[in-house]
């Protein structure tokens, strides 16, 4: 049964943005420095009602288009038909996302006991779970053994010793290092065995009676070069040959992650897929008996989530340098806005990925608001690091106004700014009717379907999936609709 909730009309509201902030100053306005030493001394605990907006204590919230996740799966199956996708649970563990991906038949990549428990609670069999943390606690290895999770990764001798004692029936995947020097989030400095050490590790596993069944790698996130996937696949072929020579039954290749999750990324998913397919045809041709996996997190959820966040305080500061506006009798000023979420929570990508969040303005500026002001966005924590964005040019905003940020699905859910006293944001799930029908009937597009996007149109109406997802209706304030 499909139930339509009036609150989901908000989705149409969110998609009709009247404009977005700009990092380019208007003609005649001086550019403001992007590196202030300290945050403005406003009071982020101010009541949003002070701005006259009458919004009370409405908190930030997400709107999740689950249909976007379904469309991503269609695209994946078309571009990488030989690869079996596993979802990286730590990227976004919201119930709606996990349920949809499980319905689509994905496997799950888990980093700890809590994630393994969560996935098994929604009915995913142990055979579809891989425990990918190369540095595991012994108690969590024992948990995996007790619950039938046999596929584990490793990159050092200590892990082999722990697994040999605590999970002797495990099937191990050797994680190799890659050249991730161009990636935003680099992993090989901490994880992954060098090619020189692989033979020693494989020999050690054989002596310890630990079964090694494959090879994995991860090029890191945000790599702008699609060719970065080719060399690790070639290296994996060498490790496969080492393992086979030593008597290991090598039959799993895990391509890791790092795939882009939104349209504006520096490299398109289709470009990466083309490089991967060419490398697989060369080193692991079809029919070679190798099961090929990939671990995708950002790819599925980044573009599916939109965040709405409140302005809770503001401070106006006159610019030090005169501008043409001042010559015409208009005083130019810089405005600092405090949001209820910051870089220690939902906007953590500013710290870890050098992201530059740009808000969408959801109210058509009035005549007096047409003048743009140098603006910065700050979180609720009063220190010099909790700066969400600066160097923006925005019309005059008020306490209680809403800013909307797109592409907020990765490493954000459950990451509320605890230092600022806020709690995890609520999520409203929605899906178009066509996407729902495709999910329910697994009506995957045929090879003759040229327009994958046409199979599941962007949201035209909001539908809550209550019977399959077991996710109850969530509160969306009518006051902002």
pLDDT single digits (tens) 329-351: 455 678 999 999 988 889 988 88
CA distance 403 to 477: 15
Q: What is the pLDDT of residue 436?
A: 82
pLDDT one-digit tens code per residue, 136-180: 999 999 999 999 999 999 999 999 999 999 999 999 999 999 875
Tally Cβ neighbours within 10 Å of residue 223: 25
- Is 80 exceeded by the pLDDT of residue 378? yes
Please check whether residues 290 and 350 belong to one and the same domain: no
For residue 84, being part of any structural domain is answered with no
What is the span of the domain harbouring residue 434?
1-25+45-66+304-481
CATH number for the domain harbouring residue 329 = 2.40.37.10
Banded pLDDT at 474 (limits 50, 70, 90): very low
Q: Is the dihedral of CA 63, 66, 69, 75 positive or negative?
A: negative
CA distance 92 to 113: 16
CA distance 321 to 344: 32
- Is 80 exceeded by the pLDDT of residue 124? yes
pLDDT one-digit tens code per residue, 404-433: 999 999 999 866 555 555 567 899 999 988
Residues 6+ apart with CB under 8 A from 451: none
> Catalytic residue at 271?
no
* C-alpha distances in Å from residue 238, one per residue of 179, 180, 214, 283: 16, 19, 12, 9
For residue 71, being part of any structural domain is answered with no
Please check whether residues 290 and 269 belong to one and the same domain: yes
Catalytic residue of the set 295, 340, 341, 406: 295
Final residue of a structural domain among 296, 317, 341: 296
Catalytic residue of the set 99, 136, 218, 248: 218
Contact 118, 89 (CB under 8 A): yes
> Catalytic residue at 295?
yes
Catalytic residue of the set 90, 206, 315, 398: 90
CA distance 481 to 5: 13
Please check whether residues 259 and 316 belong to one and the same domain: no
- Is 70 exceeded by the pLDDT of residue 377? yes
| Angle (nearest 5°) at CA 285 between 280 and 286 | 110
Secondary structure element (H or E) that encloses residue 102, with its range: helix 95-103
Round the average pLDDT of the chain to a whole number and report it.
Answer: 78
Helix (H, G, I), strand (E, B) or coil at 476: coil
Banded pLDDT at 442 (limits 50, 70, 90): low
Final residue of a structural domain among 276, 296, 316: 296
Tally Cβ neighbours within 10 Å of residue 36: 16
């Amino acid at each position: 049964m499909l139930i339509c909730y009036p609150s989901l009309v908000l989705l149409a509201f969110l998609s009709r943005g009247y404009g977005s902030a700009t990092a380019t100053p208007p003609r005649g306005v001086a550019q403001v420095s992007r590196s202030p030493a300290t945050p403005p001394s406003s009071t982020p605990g101010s009541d949003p009602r002070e701005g006259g907006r009458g919004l009370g204590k409405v908190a930030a919230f997400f709107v999740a288009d689950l249909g976007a996740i379904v469309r991503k799966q269609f695209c994946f199956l078309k571009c990488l038909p030989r690869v079996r996708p596993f979802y990286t649970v730590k990227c976004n563990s919201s119930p709606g996302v996990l349920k949809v991906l499980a319905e689509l038949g994905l496997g799950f990549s888990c980093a700890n006991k809590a994630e393994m428990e969560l996935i098994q609670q929604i009915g995913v069999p142990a055979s579809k779970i891989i425990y990918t943390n190369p540095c595991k606690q012994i108690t969590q290895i024992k948990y995996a053994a007790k619950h039938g999770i046999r596929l584990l990764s490793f990159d050092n001798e200590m892990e082999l010793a722990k697994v040999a004692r605590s999970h002797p029936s495990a099937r191990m995947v050797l994680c190799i290092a890659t050249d991730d020097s161009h990636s935003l989030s680099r992993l090989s400095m901490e994880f992954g065995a060098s090619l020189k050490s692989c033979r020693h590790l494989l020999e050690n596993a054989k002596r310890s009676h630990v079964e090694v069944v494959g090879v994995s790698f991860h090029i890191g996130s945000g790599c702008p070069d699609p060719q970065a996937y080719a060399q690790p696949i070639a290296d994996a072929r060498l490790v496969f040959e080492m393992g086979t020579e030593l008597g290991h039954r090598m039959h799993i290749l895990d391509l890791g992650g790092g795939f882009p999750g939104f349209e504006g990324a520096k490299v398109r998913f289709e470009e990466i897929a083309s490089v991967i397919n060419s490398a697989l045809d060369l080193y692991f041709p079809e029919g070679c008996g190798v099961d090929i996996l990939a671990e995708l997190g950002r790819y599925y959820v980044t573009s599916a989530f939109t965040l709405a966040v409140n302005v809770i305080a503001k401070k106006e500061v006159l610019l030090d340098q005169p501008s043409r506006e001042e010559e015409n009798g208009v005083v130019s000023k810089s405005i600092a806005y405090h949001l209820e979420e910051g870089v220690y929570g939902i906007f953590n990508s500013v710290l870890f990925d050098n992201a530059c969040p740009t808000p969408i303005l959801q109210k058509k500026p009035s005549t007096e608001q047409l003048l743009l002001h140098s603006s910065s966005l700050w979180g609720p924590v009063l220190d010099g690091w909790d700066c969400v964005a600066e160097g923006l040019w925005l019309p005059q905003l008020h306490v209680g106004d809403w800013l909307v940020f797109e592409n907020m699905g990765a490493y954000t859910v459950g990451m509320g700014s605890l230092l600022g006293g806020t709690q995890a944001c609520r999520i409203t799930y929605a899906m178009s009717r066509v996407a729902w029908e495709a999910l329910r009937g697994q009506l995957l597009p045929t090879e003759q379907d040229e327009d994958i996007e046409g199979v599941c149109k962007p949201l035209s109406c909001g539908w809550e999936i209550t019977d399959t997802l077991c996710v109850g209706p969530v509160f969306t304030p009518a006051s902002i609709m």
